Amino acid sequence: MRAAGLPVDLSVTGEPRHLPLLRELAAYRVVREALTNVVKHAPPDSPTSVTLTRETKALQVVVSNRGETAPREDGGRGLIGMRERLAAVGGTLSAGPVEDGWRVEARIPA
């Protein structure tokens, strides 16, 4: 995404550990879809951050951006797909506008 011009900061905290493959894939897909949504719906230079927090019992994934975000009128399936993928591995998703942008937060059990 950086190569495409999106200013993205990455922060990873906690002890490194592997999750079961389907849970790791779910985390990857959440980050990918959330960043794709920033590219599609936010201003081109929207400051964006990805934060991965490794906890004892879960991985928390937060993708947020600043700047006005225009929702799709055709009701895209990105958020629905993320919720379904997370539900399949026992995780949760919250997503929506925040004071100065948009935030997607996923919690995936370890």
DSSP string, 65-107: EES--PPPTT--SHHHHHHHHHHHTT-EEEEEEETTEEEEEEE
Q: What fold does the segment set 8-109 form as a domain?
A: Heat Shock Protein 90 (3.30.565)
Sign of CA dihedral 57, 55, 2, 102: positive
- How far out from the chain centre does Cα 7 lie? 15
pLDDT digits (tens, 9 = 90+) for 71-99: 655 556 888 999 999 999 999 999 999 98
3-class SS of residue 12: strand
pLDDT digits (tens, 9 = 90+) for 37-60: 998 888 888 899 999 999 999 999
Within 13 A of 53's CA, how many CA atoms are on the CB side?
Answer: 10
The pTM for the full model equals 0.90
Torsion angles phi and psi, residue 42, rounded to 5: -110, 165
Give the CA distances from residue 76 to residues 37, 56, 91, in Å, rounded to whole numbers and listed in that order. Answer: 10, 34, 21
